[in-house]
Structure 1
Amino acid sequence: MPPTLVLPPTFALIAGLTMAFLDRFMPIADFINPPWHWMALVPTTAGLLLTLWAAAGFIRAGTPLEPYEQASVLVTSGPYRFSRNPIYLGIVLLLGGFWLWLGSLSPGLVLPAFVIAIDRRFIRREEAHLEERFGERFRAYRASVRRWL
């Protein structure tokens, strides 16, 4: 796969900054106000733990985390039993928690844009690579495990 200059964490940072901008300068109807914004800790914590758990699975398997590197192992254990993309799912949960913390509706518009961008920029390429590299084993995995949940 060709090198990707902008990595998923950069996309997440851009998404988070865009969410903060929308909340600050273009808020649409506050739907969560203090102290209720503390409930943002639930998806944020879940997203962080899921991302770390999934990354640890790659590290234990000895395969690279970077989306432009060649996978050496098809990881199907841990959170990969439930989602083909638990790291991306964890990042979406982190951004969802940030949205709840901000409390207005407008930052929520960034979440579907982030998911589409990650899908088009990384997931499709990664899955094509995995199918090429692991063939029928990846196709069976893809058929039995959903992309997100």
Structure 2
Amino acid sequence: MKWIDLPPIWLICFSIMAGVQVKFYPLGLSFGGHWADFVGGILIGGGILLILLAVSEFRRHRTTIMPHRTPETLIQSGIFSRTRNPVYLGDVMVLAGLIIVFDAVLSLPLIPLFVWVLERRFVLPEEDRMRREFRLDWARYAHKTRRWL
């Protein structure tokens, strides 16, 4: 059942919730016009780009991308020099972009809820494993690199 507890599955579930909200409970609210599609597209594209940059670093360092496993290497290069969680940040950007593109105004609270789920289910346990595995290297990295932005 661990395959169900993965960030992409959570992203799909939250996206479906936004889609259901706009289909059945739009309440006449709208982000309005083409600018919303543009902003949503930028967020989705930027999120996908962050995820792809992170995946390339995982591959380059030959370590696991699976969130419930301890990586063999502490990646501090590439996009990981800017944020400790580029994949999760990308997921949040994709969700925000989809909510805007769907015109799901009432689904905006799903974004902080999604961040909370990612932190509790993935970020904090991962950081605990990294702290135990990489000790001083992790402490230096965590001190110089922000968790999200």
TM-score where L is the length of structure 2? 0.92
1:83-102 → structure 2 map (5 Å cutoff): 83-102=83-102
Deviation at 1:29, TM superposition (A): 5.3
Is 2:23 the counterpart of 1:12? no
Deviation at 1:5, TM superposition (A): 4.5
User: What whole-Å deviation, never above 9, does each CA across 1:41-62 have from its counterpart, x for those lacking one?
Assistant: 1111100011100111011100
Q: Specify the alignment match of 1:111 in structure 2.
A: 111
Q: Specify the alignment match of 2:29 in structure 1.
A: 30
1:43-122 → structure 2 map (5 Å cutoff): 43-122=43-122
Q: RMSD of aligned C-alpha atoms?
A: 1.5
Q: Which amino acid aligns with 1:139?
A: A
User: What whole-Å deviation, never above 9, does each CA across 1:76-128 have from its counterpart, x for those lacking one?
Assistant: 11111111100000011111110110223211111111110110011110000
Quick one: distance in 1 between partners of 2:42 and 2:142?
29
Check the 8 A contact 1:37/1:102 in 2, yes or no: no
Check the 8 A contact 1:131/1:138 in 2, yes or no: yes
**Unpaired runs of 5+ in structure 1?**
none
* Change beyond 3 A, Cα 1:28–1:118: farther
Q: Secondary structure at the match of 1:64?
A: coil
Q: Specify the alignment match of 2:145 in structure 1.
A: 145
Q: Secondary structure at the match of 2:112?
A: helix
Check the 8 A contact 1:4/1:68 in 2, yes or no: no
Q: Specify the alignment match of 1:42 in structure 2.
A: 42
Quick one: distance in 2 between partners of 1:117 and 1:35?
31
Deviation at 1:28, TM superposition (A): 5.1
TM-score where L is the length of structure 1? 0.92
Matched residue count = 147
* Change beyond 3 A, Cα 1:109–1:136: same
* Change beyond 3 A, Cα 1:5–1:44: closer
Q: Which amino acid aligns with 1:37?
A: A
Quick one: distance in 2 between partners of 1:73 and 1:20?
38
**Unpaired runs of 5+ in structure 2?**
none
